[in-house]
Chain A
Amino acid sequence: MSFTQLTFYFFAAVLVFAATMVVTIRNPVKAALFLVLAFFSAACVWMTLEAEFLAIVLVLVYVGAVMVLFLFVVMMLDINLARMQEGFTRYLPVGALVAALLVVELVLVLGGSFGSEQLPRPAAQGADYSNTRELGGVLYTTYVYPFEIAAVILLVAIIAAIVLTLRKRPDTKYQDPAKQISVRKEDRVRLVKMPAERRRQGD
């Protein structure tokens, strides 16, 4: 077994373990952390496939940003497990149906005609081959319209999310820094000129 194979099996084992823990562990924060580990191992597996751009972007986007926000939310939840498990028997048939469907799809993909052995083996590239440059070249020439449309859809989704959550609260004390800076002494301070007074008795 070569060193590359050894690393592949190591990261693959960690990935499977972490993925199993995500769905079995009770504590939601720990589940989120195991998801982070799963993403990271997946990135390492991709790295052994010489897809370094995808691997690094997976870490950058999912581990570095998405999961941080996920944890942010999950940590502040107070989840009552007993209440969540209440409808277990009621939802069991639906869940079982979805699970069965997933298994069938997976069997079709992995066992049928879609396996990686059906495709021609990609040519091995030299050490100076830039994965990122190739991807960028294809993405911005051949697939520029799908890419741009996907970007616009994401932008719409972002704006929609903001619009849905944006509520004007009347009691917010909002500060406008531009106004704060442009304040002049004349606006706030009034100098009053008055004659000196005599000191009263007893002071």
Chain B
Amino acid sequence: MELLQSLVGGLPAWIQIGLINVAKIVVILVPLMLAVAYLTFAERKIIGYMQVRIGPNRVGPRGWLQPIADALKLLLKEVIIPTNSNRFLFLLAPVLSITPALAAWAVMPFSDSMVLADIDASLLYILALTSMGVYGVIIAGWASNSKYAFLGAMRSAAQIVAYEIAMGFALVGVLMAAGSLNLREIVLAQSGGLHQWYLWPLFPLFLVYFISGVAETNRAPFDVAEGESEIVAGFHVEYSGMTFAIFFLAEYANMILIAALTAVMFLGGWHAPIDTGFTVVPPMLWFVGKIAFVLFFFLWLRATFPRYRYDQIMRLGWKVFIPVTLVWIGVIGFFTFFTPVGHWFH
């Protein structure tokens, strides 16, 4: 940081602030993009082993260069724009789907001091941005001028709206327990070891949040928006080359985002599971480890469960998750105000 400040020292103040912020953004996004690339590799390997296969092992030592090769291939492929599609919206859709997935990382607390924008309402900010991701899907489906893409977009819109409500209510529970909308303070409220994590008092909300997160990112078993067996590839059926790659990037960046938020809100963020008073392992490593743990569940779910039917998805979202979250919010309120164990939540 000092090096950076000395480098830009001679410039006017606002340019300095701008450059330092851009540098911070790069420091967050480059590892994120690498993580996305290797998450695809991890997915293929893990699902491979779960299905008693080997997975990719040809490109580079033990297949480690596979994601790089995939990225190069997608970069070099032709971007096809269908005739009679809406050219501007067709190209805008991937941008709209990746922007919220990346912008949400601005408020992510990696450790006590490492957060790009420590804003007061960061939880709301995250909710607002993740709710905008659906536009990429809807616009892609409409602008493609294709029935399959349109059906995928319609399914996805209904699904995302349904699960967003359950997700929002789960977060209401978290903010009631922590008494703050700031993600950093939510993590700080969980300090003191494994038993202080919100995983325990908010267990139903944890389950609802994680499963809604899987549904929000359109991942199996909730991937009816893509539904290869029925509607080819859903909303991105007409996309090729780099435009397709951006949808792909957005999906995986969203997965990592949901995993990180689960870690922040229910698994104690950067805190070690056992509070020894020393910091042997850097806090950020704990955080990354927790993200990887949650991501493993994403992949495990995909390898295990068959796809939900559309009406079953709707039923689960509206008739199971929303009542569960509402009841548990009531329980939290009751415990916080009327019983002596209220301190457990704070």
Point out residues on A near B: beta carbons under 8 Å: 3, 29-30, 33, 36, 52-53, 56-57, 59-60, 63-65, 68-69, 71-72, 75-76, 128, 130-132, 175, 177
Q: Are A71 and B121 in contact (CB under 8 A)?
A: no
B315 cross-chain contacts in A, Cβ below 8 A:
177
- B128: A residues at CB distance < 8 A: 56-57, 59-60, 63-64
**Partner of A71 from B125, B132, B138, B312 at Cβ < 8 Å:** B138
Task: Please tell me if the beta carbons of A56 and B157 are within 8 angstroms of each other in the complex.
Answer: no
Q: Indicate if B154 sits at the interface (CB-CB under 8 A).
A: yes
Is B131 in contact with A72, judged by CB distance below 8 angstroms? no
* Interface check B124, CB cutoff 8 A: yes
Q: Knowing A64-B131, A68-B161, A69-B161 are in contact, say whether A52-B121 is a contact too (CB < 8 A).
A: yes
A68 touches B157 (CB 8 A): yes
Quick one: which of A3, A33, A60 has the most chain B CB within 10 A?
A60
Give Cα A6 to B39, complex, Å.
Answer: 41
Q: Which residues of A contact B132 (CB under 8 A)?
A: 59, 63-64
Residues of B50-102 contacting chain A, CB below 8 A:
89
Q: Flag whether B33 is at the interface (Cβ < 8 A).
A: no
B255 within 8 A of A: no
Shortest distance from the beta carbon of B171 to any chain A beta carbon, whole Å? 11
Those 8 A-B pairs whose CB atoms lie nearest each other, nearest first: A64-B131, A59-B128, A60-B128, A56-B124, A56-B128, A130-B120, A75-B142, A72-B157
Q: Is the CB of B131 within 8 A of A132?
A: no
B224 at the interface (CB under 8 A from A): no
| Chain A residue contacts of B312, Cβ below 8 A | 177
Residue-by-residue, is B302-318 near A (CB-CB < 8 Å gives 1, otherwise 0)?
A: 00000000011001000
CA distance in complex: A30, B131 (Å): 20
**Closest approach, in angstroms, between the C-beta of A63 and any C-beta of chain B?**
6
Residue on A nearest B124 in the bound complex, by CB: A56
The docked-state distance in angstroms from the alpha carbon of A36 to that of B120 is 25
User: Does residue B134 face the partner (Cβ distance < 8 Å to A)?
Assistant: yes
CA distance A53 to B124 in the complex (A): 8
Minimum distance in angstroms from A197 CB to a CB of chain B: 40
Convert B178-198 into 0s and 1s, putting 1 for each residue whose CB lies closer than 8 angstroms to a CB of A.
000100000000000000000
* Selected contact of A132 from candidates B124, B139, B160, B161, CB within 8 Å: B124
What number of A-B contacts does a CB cutoff of 8 Å give?
A: 71
Contact B14 A3 (CB under 8 A): yes
CA distance A191 to B89 in the complex (A): 61
A33-B139, A59-B131, A130-B121 given; 10 more Cβ-contact pairs under 8 Å: A53-B121, A56-B127, A59-B128, A60-B124, A63-B128, A63-B131, A64-B132, A65-B161, A75-B142, A131-B120
Q: In the complex the two chains form, is B142's CB within 8 Å of A36's CB?
A: no
Q: Which residues of B contact A33 (CB under 8 A)?
A: 89, 139
In the assembled complex, how far is the CB of residue A58 from the closest CB belonging to chain B, in whole angstroms?
9
A-B contact pairs, 24 of them (CB 8 A): A3-B14, A29-B142, A33-B139, A36-B135, A53-B121, A56-B121, A56-B124, A59-B131, A59-B132, A63-B128, A64-B127, A64-B131, A64-B164, A68-B134, A68-B138, A68-B161, A71-B142, A72-B154, A75-B150, A75-B153, A131-B121, A132-B120, A132-B181, A175-B311
B114 CB within 8 Å of chain A: no
Chain B residues within 8 Å of A57, by CB: 124, 128
Residues of chain B within 8 A (CB-CB) of A30 are 89
Q: How far is the CA of A132 from the CA of B315 in the complex (A)?
A: 33
What's the nearest-Cβ distance from chain B to residue A25, in Å? 13
* Contact residues in B for A60 (Cβ distance below 8 Å): 124, 127-128, 131
* B137 nearest CB neighbor, chain A only: A68
Give Cα A69–Cα B312 distance, bound, in whole angstroms: 20
B154 CB contacts on chain A under 8 angstroms: 72, 75-76
Q: Smallest distance from the beta carbon of A146 to chain B beta carbons, Å?
A: 21
Which A residues are in CB contact (< 8 Å) with B153?
75
Query: Would you call B119 an interface residue if the criterion is a C-beta within 8 Å of the partner chain's C-beta atoms?
Result: yes
Instruction: Output the nearest chain B residue to A43 by Cβ-Cβ distance.
Output: B128
Q: A130 to B182, alpha carbons, bound, how many Å? A: 10
Cβ of B158 < 8 Å from any Cβ of A? yes
Closest chain A CB from B156 CB (angstroms):
10
Q: Smallest CB–CB gap between A132 and chain B, Å?
A: 5
Cα(A130)–Cα(B180), bound, Å: 10
CA distance A36 to B150 in the complex (A): 20
Closest residue of B by beta carbon distance from A130: B120
B150: chain A residues at CB < 8 Å are 75
A36 to B142, alpha carbons, bound, how many Å?
A: 16
A171 nearest CB across to chain B (Å): 16
User: What residues on B are CB-neighbors of A130 within 8 Å?
Assistant: 120-121, 181
Question: Which residues of chain B from 137 to 183 have a CB within 8 Å of any chain A CB?
Answer: 138-139, 142, 150, 153-154, 157-158, 160-161, 164, 181
Whether B125 pairs with A56 at a CB distance below 8 angstroms is: yes
Known interface pairs A56-B128, A59-B132, A65-B164; A75-B138 also in contact (CB < 8 Å) = yes
Bound Cα distance A75, B139 (Å): 10
B contact residues around A64 at 8 Å (CB):
127-128, 131-132, 134, 164
